[in-house]
Amino acid sequence: MFENLSDKLQRVFKNLRGEGKLTPENMEAALREIRVALLEADVHFKVVKQFLEGVRQKAMGEEVLTALSPTQQVVKIVQEELVKLLGSHQSRLRFANEPPTMILIVGLQGSGKTTTTGKLARWLSRNGHLPLMVSVDVYRPAARAQLAVIARDIRLPIYEGAPEEKTPAELAKSARREAIQTGRDVVLVDTAGRLHIDEQLMTELQELKQLLSPSEILFVADAMTGQDAVKSADEFHKRLGITGAILTKMDGDARGGGALSIRHVTGQPLKFVGVGENFDALEPFHPDRVASRILGMGDVLSFIEKVEESIDQKNAEEMQRKLIDNEFTLEDFRDQLKQLKKLGPLDSILSMMPGVGPLKDLKNVKVDEKEIVRVVAIIDSMTPKERANHMIINGTRRRRIARGSGTTVQEVNQLLKQYAQARKMMKTFSGGFMGKRLGKLKLPAFGG
Ligand SMILES: Nc1nc2c(ncn2[C@@H]2O[C@H](COP(=O)(O)OP(=O)(O)OP(=O)(O)O)[C@@H](O)[C@H]2O)c(=O)[nH]1
Ligand SMILES: [Mg+2]
């Protein structure tokens, strides 16, 4: 899901990489490409417009963080705006104060209502609830049979109705009574679908709403239908007042834009997404995670937060000055390595890093944390004088340092060579210090 959008946005960010600074020009260029990517992903044009405006304003107001490269800054902003668009926090189901909670499942024909009713029943029962299902689709005999089969499959109760109950209202009322009598706390009401929105259906749903005072009216939308799903969500909301949406078939090759727009157009949150035909294939909708997935960049935000937390901005600036003035000592080198270690296990940082997500061979990427420990040990075995001036470290001193740190002279030589190289290279860089440091350690695709 979201694969296309994700690919396109990644290309945008790749193009931004290598630019030293965030300027109005490269920002505009990036925004243009983001616009095309969103439109191609089937996001409503009004939503796109507003989205880009939000990104632009944030980008202009953003304080430049030395610790982040321009790419990362744009990613951060786009991510934050995506989350805003999708809903700032996860929307949980609402339950009635007095059980049973009534949940109406509505939507167009074939959108996945009946399947989702089963999935939701299972999800509820796994989360401490006692659901009861009922189908009020009185138009298609097979529809009620379908839910009965599902109920048997997942071994959860269904109210199947009595022969004399012929209307949706009668069936739903009896189901509620049954729930009270048997101590079920949630009733999931699977309603009939229509090819198009029509008066009869809307009237029927309005009556059910009147009768049941449901805590939730969940609009089930097929993600594959893109903008049509958004349009019907809008109409259902105007006529009925939905309280949330469930996007199904997100496992297919839907362009994903619908998800971004439903929430914006109706003002109602996405609560779940269906990601398969299996009854386990239902996930609560987490805006932040989905935004990350859309960006295809792992959990960028947590990574950026970590960097922001662990890097003392002043310290970073001081380091940068030292680099530029060629005052970057072995001691600084060690402190920076230690700081890098403070970020946590490198593999986990790696998996959060932009551009690493889609690498197929991520499993083969090994970051040697022991290497850092060794380097720190070597530097610790030096005298303060040596740390301040690596030029004085001759053969005798190297042997002593190797002994002191439990390493070999070769390893000490190697470190000194690396340090000299790092010094030379880093001096030529300007901008995001931490980004360069990570780049030095040969972590793929990070920043500049
Ligand atoms: N791949 C995939 N298929 C799904 C998902 N949700 C539903 N389906 C399939 O979509 C088809 C229609 O699902 P139903 O649950 O019968 O749809 P409905 O809205 O109840 O249809 P009507 O009652 O006719 O209006 C079935 O083949 C389901 O297996 C999903 O998340 N992923
Ligand atoms: Mg159905």
Give, for all 448 residues of the chain, the pLDDT tens digit: 455 666 767 677 666 655 556 677 777 877 888 888 788 777 788 888 888 888 888 877 665 555 566 666 777 788 788 888 887 777 889 999 999 999 999 999 999 999 999 999 999 999 999 999 999 999 887 999 999 999 999 999 999 988 899 899 999 999 999 999 999 999 999 999 887 778 888 999 999 999 999 999 999 999 888 788 888 999 999 999 999 999 998 877 666 677 678 888 899 999 998 988 999 889 888 887 777 766 665 444 455 555 655 556 566 667 667 766 667 788 877 877 776 666 555 555 554 444 443 333 334 434 466 777 888 899 999 998 999 888 899 999 999 999 999 999 999 998 898 788 767 665 554 333 334 344 333 333 332 2
Question: Counting atoms of ligand 1 from 1, which one is nearest the CA of 194?
Answer: 25
The ligand 1 atom nearest the CA atom of 137: 23
What's the CA-to-centroid distance between 220 and ligand 1, angstroms?
Answer: 10
Query: Running DSSP on this structure, what letter comes out for residue 353?
Result: S
CA gyration radius, the chain: 29
CA 204 to mean position of chain CA atoms: 37
Query: Which DSSP state fits 223?
Result: G
User: Are 298 and 311 contacting, i.e. CB atoms less than 8 angstroms apart?
Assistant: no
Q: Are residues 51 and 66 in contact, defined by beta-carbon separation less than 8 angstroms?
A: no
The confidence score (pLDDT) of residue 362 equals 38
To the question of pTM greater than 0.85 for the whole model, the response is: no
- Can you tell me the distance from the alpha carbon of 59 to that of 388, in angstroms, rounded to the nearest whole number? 40
Cα–Cα distance measured from residue 417 to residue 446, given in angstroms and rounded to the nearest whole number = 23
Domains along the sequence of the chain with CATH:
3-89 (1.20.120.140), 101-285 (3.40.50.300), 311-440 (1.10.260.30)
The answer for 445, left when phi > 0, alpha when psi is -120 to 50, beta otherwise, is left
**Which phi-psi region, left, alpha or beta, contains residue 110 (left: φ > 0; alpha: ψ -120 to 50)?**
left
Q: Return the DSSP state at 90.
A: P
Q: Which tokens hold the place of 66?
A: 């030395």
CA proximity to 117, closest of 130, 133, 101: 133
pLDDT given for residue 198 in this prediction: 84
**SS3 string of 368-428?**
CHHHHHHHHHHHHCCCHHHHHCHHHCCHHHHHHHHHHHCCCHHHHHHHHHHHHHHHHHHHH
Q: What is the pLDDT of residue 147?
A: 96
Ligand 1 binding pocket, CB closer than 6 Å: 107, 109-115, 137, 143, 193, 248-249, 251-252, 274-277, 281
- Which ligand has the minimum distance to the alpha carbon of residue 1? 1
Phi, psi (degrees; rounded to nearest 5) at 388: -80, -30
Say what the pLDDT of residue 155 is: 96
Going by CA atoms, what residue is nearest to atom 26 of ligand 1? 112
Residue whose CA is closest, atom 13 of ligand 1? 112
Distance from the CA of 120 to the center of ligand 1, in angstroms?
Answer: 13
Res 305: pLDDT: 54
State the distance from the centre of ligand 2 to the C-alpha of 98, rounded, in angstroms. 28
Helix (H) or strand (E) holding 248: strand 244-248
User: Do 9 and 78 meet the contact criterion of CB atoms below 8 Å apart?
Assistant: yes
Number of the ligand 1 atom closest to the C-alpha atom of 108: 25
CA of 265 to the centre of ligand 2 (A): 25
Does 100 sit behind a cis peptide bond, omega within 30 degrees of 0 on the bond before it? yes
Residue with the smallest CA separation from ligand 1 atom 21 is 110
- Considering every ligand atom, which ligand is closest to the CA of 108? 1
